[in-house]
Amino acid sequence: MNERLKILPERLLPWFAAHARPLPWRKDRDPYRVWVSEIMLQQTRVEAVKNYYDRFLLALPDVLALANAPEEKLMKLWEGLGYYSRARNLQKAAKQVAQAGGAFPDTREGLLALPGVGEYTAGAVASICFDRPCAAVDGNVLRVLSRFLADPTPIDSPACKRQAREALETVYPRGRCGDFTQALMELGATVCLPNGAPDCGVCPLAKDCLAHRRGAQRDYPKKGAKKARRAEERTVFLLRCGDALAMEKRPEKGLLAGLWQLPNLPGRLTPQEAVDTAEQWGLCPAALTAELHKTHIFTHMEWNMTGYEIRCAREGGGFFWATKTDRREGYALPTAFRQFLFPEEREEREK
């Protein structure tokens, strides 16, 4: 493998210099900014991250600001990005860096000691910010290598990622480590695309790519068999009293731990059962005004949700009744529940 990879830097570095996208986190190599972007980009599309990133950096411009931010402010800034444990680990790591004097570790080993930082993020920050020959191997990079080498190893196996990282690090160009890391990422994100659709006509590696030579680009990468997602039915309550909306905190452990949610129950209740439940909560339901059906997909599970909007004559039920101001300025709702809000409410929350 290593011999064939030796040509990667000489092909990719000039291509990257000419074709790199002007992404906001590429404006400088400040480790705080790069680290925040890499955490946000985990499991999330670039276009979705851009606005969040700019807003986050405006509110929390450095590691000390993040370390000292109130949790509600942090969750509000993260609202809609999903995988909320990323935000909590981000703040834990910021506190650790702040306690150590505010300077980020400049080695992969030091970065791996931070909460929420794995091999990929450590490699990205170490190479981009500190010019360490540390590979950042994600799905984009694995796809490029799989096609370039016509490698049948399933890319979702841990061994494949480890082998790719070790092989790449033998060809890292000293003094250009960050550019090489980003060039590999960029090629996979913009040219060597997933789902059998690489744009080989503009690829700087095409003439040496074994899959391209064989006309087998669409046969790579290989993946292992996927486990089926578990599906759950849930009933969601949009309980309104005047302009207030009932909300509650989720348990501190488990899925969406510690976040705010709309009241909900397992299973699918009928409209009458939903009204009866609101009555049992002591809310004096006056009218059921809407029935909504939504689906939210998590990594290993999906929720098939039936939502009932119920106008109530009184607050209660042990819920927090959030006013419009509350909902606009704090109390972040995960996407699974935010999709039940009126369009104008969603727009206000996403500004």
DSSP states along 191-241: TS-STT---GGG-TTGGG-HHHHTT-GGG-S--PPPPPPEEEEEEEEEEEE
The answer to whether residue 38 is catalytic is: yes
DSSP states along 89-158: HHHHHHHHHHHTTSPPP-SHHHHHTSTT--HHHHHHHHHHHH--------HHHHHHHHHHHT--S-TTSH
In this structure, are residues 283 and 290 in contact, taking their beta carbons and an 8 Å threshold?
Answer: no
Sign, CA torsion 193/194/198/204: positive
Amino acid, single-letter form, for residue 2: N
In this structure, are residues 53 and 41 in contact, taking their beta carbons and an 8 Å threshold?
Answer: no
Taking the alpha carbons at both ends of the chain, their separation in whole angstroms is 48
Partners of residue 291 on adjacent β-strands: 308
Partners of residue 320 on adjacent β-strands: 247
Pick the catalytic residue: 3, 10, 38, 279? Answer: 38
Residue 203: alpha-carbon gap to chain centroid = 27
How far, in Å, CA of 311 to CA of 308, rounded? 10
In this structure, are residues 269 and 276 in contact, taking their beta carbons and an 8 Å threshold?
Answer: no
In this structure, are residues 136 and 185 in contact, taking their beta carbons and an 8 Å threshold?
Answer: yes
How far, in Å, CA of 124 to CA of 206, rounded? 25
Partners of residue 290 on adjacent β-strands: 309
- Alpha carbon dihedral 213, 214, 220, 225, in 10-degree steps, equals -160
* Catalytic center residues: 38
